[in-house]
Every structure is written in C-alpha cells, then in structure tokens.
Amino acid sequence: MTAQEIRQAFLDFFRSKGHKIVPSAPIVSKDDPTLMFTNAGMNQFKDFFLGNQTPDIPRIADTQKCMRVSGKHNDLEDVGRDGTHHTMFEMLGNWSFGDYFKKEAIAWSWELLTEVYGIPKDRLYATVFGGDEGEGLPSDEEAKAFWMEYLPASHILYGNKKDNFWEMGETGPCGPCSEIHIDLRPEAEIEAQPGAELVNMDHPKVVEIWNNVFIQFNRKADGALEKLPAAHVDTGMGFERLCMVLQGKTVTYDTDVFTPLLRKIETITGLSYGGSYAPDAKADMAMRVLADHVRAVAFTIADGQLPSNTGAGYVIRRILRRAVRYYYSFLNMQEPLLCQLVPVLAAEMGGFFPELKGQEGQIVRIIEAEEKTFLNTLEKGISRFESLDAKGGLIQGQDAFELYDTFGFPIDLTRLMAAERGWQVDEAGFEKALQAQKDRSRADAHKKVGDWHIVREGEEVAFVGYDELSVSEAAV
Ligand code: ATP
Ligand code: MG
Ligand code: MG
Ligand code: MG
C-alpha cells in the first residue's frame, strides 16, 4: 500500500464506524497560549474534553499535522538518529466524546490493524496501565480483559504511570492508556528473545505505533480523582510508523513518505544515501535531517507562520538553520538546498494537504531567502576562522565559542576545519564559554516565554547565526 492509500484506509475505516472525518488543525497553535505547535491530535478537541463545548457528532477521526520540538514533547535530538521520531509527523486519530469506550476502541484498533492492514497478529503487543498505589490509581483490568479477546496473555503488558496514564495537566481530564507495539525483528531474533521483554525499552525494531487513551477521570485541585460523568476515547497513531510497518520497513525513511525527498537530495548533492545509522555516517544522518526538517518548515509556513525572531517563528527559523548547518557541514553544499525539496514535498503531499500546493511558490521563496541569509553568515564565519591566530596550533575556546555563537558554527565544523589545517580546538575552553552563556540565559529567565529556552517575546534577539537547539545539541 502507498502512504496515500494507508491514510485513506484509516479514514475510510473510521467513517464506516460512524465517525465524521474532519480536517487537520493548523500545525501552529494559534489559540492556545500553553502550546506553540500542535503536538497531538487531541489538541483541537481540548474544549470537548474539558466540557466547555459539545461536538455536533460524538465520533470524529482525522489525520493531524503534529510537531514535537519543544515543551513536554521534544523529539528533536532523535531526528535523523533513529528511524521513528520526526519533528513534523501526522497523527491518525479517532475520538469518542462520551460515546463508545474501551471495548469498541480496542476492537476497532484490532480490526483495522489485522484485518484491513493485514498485520500479523503474533507481532503485536498491547500495554495497559498497571496502576499506581502511591497515587491511588487503579490498574486498568477492563482494558486488559478486552485485549484478552484478541491477544495471548504473554502479549499484554502492564505499564507504569509515565507511559500508560495520560493527564492534560495538574488538574482536569485524565485516564489510563493502552499502547500498541509491533515487533519488527527478523524471525530468528524473535525466537531467541521474546518481544515482550523489549516493549517500552526504546528498541529500534520493537516500536510503539498507536496509543489509545481512555479519559475516565477528572483530577480535582486537591489532587483527588473523580469519575467523569461521560468517558472519552482519544487515540493517536503515528502515520509514518504505520507506513513503515505496512511497507515492510524498519525505519520511516525507507517508506514512500521520505524516499522521494531523499532521492531529490541525492540528485542535488551528487551523493548517494547509504541508509546507515552508525554515529560516524554523518552524510546519511544529514540527508535524513533534511528530509525531515523540510516538512516541518514547509508545513509551518503553509499554515501562516513565517520564520521570525520570536515564538514559533523563531523555532522554525532555527530548524531551518539546523538543516543548513547539516548540509553545509556534512554534504558539502554551499547553495540553498532545502527550498529545492519543496516542490517534491508538494507533489507528494499537496493532494491531501492543499495548503502546501496552493502556496508552493511562496514557500520556496521564503525558505530560499532564509537559507541565503544564513549561508552568508556561515561564509562570514569562515573569514573569521581564517583570520584566527591559532597559537601553537590550538584554537582558543573563546574563539570557537564566538564562531558558534555569532556565526553559527557548530563545534563539529570548527573541529573539522581545524583538523584540515592540522590544528586542534580547546574544547574544554569552548565548553566553559558555552556554559557561561547558558548561565547568563538562565539568569534572563524572566524574559522568556513558551518552552523554547531563548525565545523572548516582543524583543529582537541578537542572533545572527545558529546556536544550539537544545542543551546537548552541541554534541551533534
Ligand atoms: P514514543 O514513545 O515513540 O516517543 P510517544 O509515546 O511519545 O511515542 P504518543 O504521545 O503516545 O507518542 O503519540 C501517539 C503516537 O504518535 C505514537 O504511538 C507514535 O506512533 C507517534 N509519534 C509520537 N511521537 C512521534 C514522532 N516524534 N515522530 C513520529 N511519530 C511519533
Ligand atoms: Mg515520545
Ligand atoms: Mg511512548
Ligand atoms: Mg505513547
């Protein structure tokens, strides 16, 4: 099945179960001050769960454009490094607002996965909430009993509060969840070790694909739980991961969601994508990062958020610059590349997301201009590098930090250029300067908004280059 067919089959299936299919909400969350980007399918239905609004029909399904680069869900560090976490991804979801509950939700997940999509049953595992005595939370024996109709007991596992209990916040709607995982290892490996041991362990081939949340409690201000008068179902399945499973792959980048982008990157760079995840396979990693980041940037611009110096616009600018940094450092490209991927993305996804097709030309122009500006900064950094006085073949930590902070040079690039000249970098000195900057920005904390650590509202940030996207990012 192609990605298009897989998405359509999901929507058709839930339509056949009485769900209304609604469009994705924008990826930039405009009305919610607690969130910069939509990070789950349920965001747009928050008011239904809180009881502030009632939907005209209690069953809804859709695919939601999501982004997980900040706050509670920040997957940026994993992007390109593993084959299952993206910045932007689609979350397929079905909802019941006070209508059906655990029995139907579980039965339909099973029917869809095994009958419509034909996933082998013996590869599937379900987790259910195992309870938490300290918090007075009961285990979800109900969900377990429904799963027992389909799965052997050895494929049903109890999970902890972190993985299997969902809360919107300190107070409000909450409840246990049940996650579906799939074992994608070769038969021989499965015989040697049961998959159950690997579920919830971040194993690259035993992958979580679908989360079914059963919202049945309300947490009150005093911490006590009360039963909600009407219970809800909220599910989310990673579309790219589902495509991976159905197309017989073990990483999302090998599906037709990403291969057209990777092929285009190969054509532009003249390099070939080797598909390696080894830490030193920097070019392969860079290609994955580009294929991922162009989606985040293009979809965000399509939804009206331009790159800028504050808020979500700043996050997008930094993701774009992160992509530039990768092709500049590891693919030997000094010309705008990301903008050239937009037509491929629009051709692949513009059918389902017309906002992408409709604004294609504008998205290309905006990305190209951003890339040019940043490449220019990187060039200036090179001049600065060349003017450095590397006494005794050592680049001072403070100089490496200036290259990083003002000209967007990741330490990797400085190290690389130093090595070409037979020089070394005072990395300890660099780390020290970096730490000092972090301490300063922490002291500035009162100026920050949102959950992105140097975003400042209403204030132009003195930033001309790339700096870290998150604390350990400098290690990339
Ligand atoms: P994981 O444990 O793999 O990080 P999660 O538990 O954080 O996933 P949920 O919040 O349960 O994810 O979201 C529902 C589904 O969305 C997941 O089961 C997964 O298939 C998908 N998903 C979550 N994060 C990402 C991501 N960064 N990229 C692609 N798909 C994702
Ligand atoms: Mg996660
Ligand atoms: Mg998880
Ligand atoms: Mg999950």
Q: Is residue 14 part of a domain?
A: yes
The bound ligand whose nearest atom lies closest to the alpha carbon of 234 is: 1
The CA-atom distances, in angstroms, between 40 and each of 72, 176, 252, 358 are 11, 17, 19, 25
Exposure letters 46-83 (e unless 16+ CB within 10 A, then b):
bebbeeeeebeebbbbbbbbbbbbbeeebbbbebbebb
The CA-atom distances, in angstroms, between 308 and each of 86, 280, 378 are 22, 33, 19
pLDDT at position 338 is 98
What span, in angstroms and rounded, lies between the C-alpha atoms of 458 and 467?
20
User: Nearest residue CA, atom 30 of ligand 1?
Assistant: 238
Residues 237 and 270 in one domain: no
Q: Is residue 370 part of a domain?
A: yes
pLDDT at position 450 is 34
For residue 73, report the distance from its CA to the centre of ligand 2, in Å: 6
Q: For 132-142, write each residue's pLDDT tens digit.
A: 998 889 999 99
Look up tokens 């005209």; give the residue. Answer: 56
Q: Is residue 42 part of a domain?
A: yes
For residue 180, report the distance from its CA to the centre of ligand 1, in Å: 11
User: Which ipTM value was assigned to this complex?
Assistant: 0.99
Residues 6+ apart with CB under 8 A from 43: 25, 29, 32, 35, 64
What span, in angstroms and rounded, lies between the C-alpha atoms of 120 and 115?
9
Residues 27 and 131 in one domain: yes
Q: Is residue 154 part of a domain?
A: yes
Three-state DSSP state, 181: strand
Q: Is residue 253 part of a domain?
A: no
Look up tokens 């680049």; give the residue. Answer: 395
- Could you tell me whether strands 59-67 and 206-219 are parallel, antiparallel, or unpaired per DSSP bridges? unpaired
What span, in angstroms and rounded, lies between the C-alpha atoms of 351 and 333?
31
Going by C-alpha positions, the residue among 218, 211, 199 that lies closest to residue 164 is 211
* φ, ψ at 99 (rounded to 5°): -110, -115
The CA-atom distances, in angstroms, between 131 and each of 141, 231, 465 are 9, 18, 48
For residue 163, report the distance from its CA to the centre of ligand 3, in Å: 6
Three-state DSSP state, 87: coil
Token pair of 321, please?
Answer: 């610059």
Q: For 3-48, write each residue's pLDDT tens digit.
A: 999 999 999 999 999 999 999 999 998 777 778 999 999 999 988 9
Q: Is residue 252 part of a domain?
A: no
Q: Is residue 251 part of a domain?
A: no
pLDDT at position 446 is 46
pLDDT at position 49 is 87
Residues 179 and 210 in one domain: yes
Residues 6+ apart with CB under 8 A from 292: 79, 80, 86, 87, 88, 258
What span, in angstroms and rounded, lies between the C-alpha atoms of 360 and 356?
6
User: Nearest residue CA, atom 19 of ligand 1?
Assistant: 238
Does ligand 1 have an atom closer than 6 angstroms to the CB of 295?
A: no
Quote the DSSP letter at residue 84.
S
Which stretches of the chain score pLDDT less than 70? 444-476
Residues 38 and 162 in one domain: yes
What span, in angstroms and rounded, lies between the C-alpha atoms of 413 and 419?
10
Residues 24 and 147 in one domain: yes
Question: Rounded to an integer, what is the distance from CA 280 to the centroid of its chain?
Answer: 23
Count of CB atoms situated within 10 Å of the CB of 290? 28
Q: Which atom of ligand 1 is nearest to the CA of 86?
A: 28
Domain boundary among 188, 218, 246: 246
Token pair of 353, please?
Answer: 């997301």
- Residues 231 and 101 sit within 8 Å (Cβ to Cβ): yes
Q: CB within 5 A of ion ligand 4: which residues?
A: 211
Residues 332 and 389 in one domain: yes
Going by C-alpha positions, the residue among 377, 282, 273, 294 that lies closest to residue 338 is 294
What span, in angstroms and rounded, lies between the C-alpha atoms of 412 and 399?
14
pLDDT at position 464 is 29
Note down the domain range covering 209: 3-246
Q: Which atom of ligand 1 is nearest to the CA of 252?
A: 29
Tell me the residue length of the chain.
476
Residues 294 and 165 in one domain: no
Q: How many domains does the chain have?
A: 2
Residues 221 and 262 in one domain: no
What span, in angstroms and rounded, lies between the C-alpha atoms of 374 and 381?
11
For residue 72, report the distance from its CA to the centre of ligand 2, in Å: 9
Domain boundary among 246, 270, 290: 246
Quote the DSSP letter at residue 456.
B
Residues 223 and 308 in one domain: no
pLDDT at position 444 is 60
* φ, ψ at 234 (rounded to 5°): -135, 115
Domain boundary among 225, 246, 267: 246
Three-state DSSP state, 28: strand
Q: What angle do the packed helices 411-420 and 427-443 form, to 10 degrees?
A: 160
What span, in angstroms and rounded, lies between the C-alpha atoms of 95 and 100?
9
Residues 118 and 241 in one domain: yes
Q: For 185-195, write each residue's pLDDT tens digit.
A: 999 999 999 99
Q: Is residue 303 part of a domain?
A: yes
Domain containing 26 — which CATH number? 3.30.930.10
pLDDT at position 59 is 98
Residues 233 and 278 in one domain: no
Residues 198 and 307 in one domain: no
pLDDT at position 471 is 27
For residue 75, report the distance from its CA to the centre of ligand 2, in Å: 7
Strand (E) or helix (H) holding 234: strand 225-238
User: Nearest residue CA, atom 16 of ligand 1?
Assistant: 238
Count of CB atoms situated within 10 Å of the CB of 6? 22
What span, in angstroms and rounded, lies between the C-alpha atoms of 139 and 134?
12
Pocket test residue of 43, 70, 85 for ligand 1, highest count of atoms within 8 A of CB:
85
Q: Which atom of ligand 1 is nearest to the CA of 163?
A: 6
Three-state DSSP state, 270: coil
Look up tokens 């490449």; give the residue. Answer: 375
Residues 6+ apart with CB under 8 A from 400: 409, 411, 414, 425, 426, 427, 429, 430, 433
Token pair of 371, please?
Answer: 């890339």
First vs last Cα of the chain: how many Å apart?
35
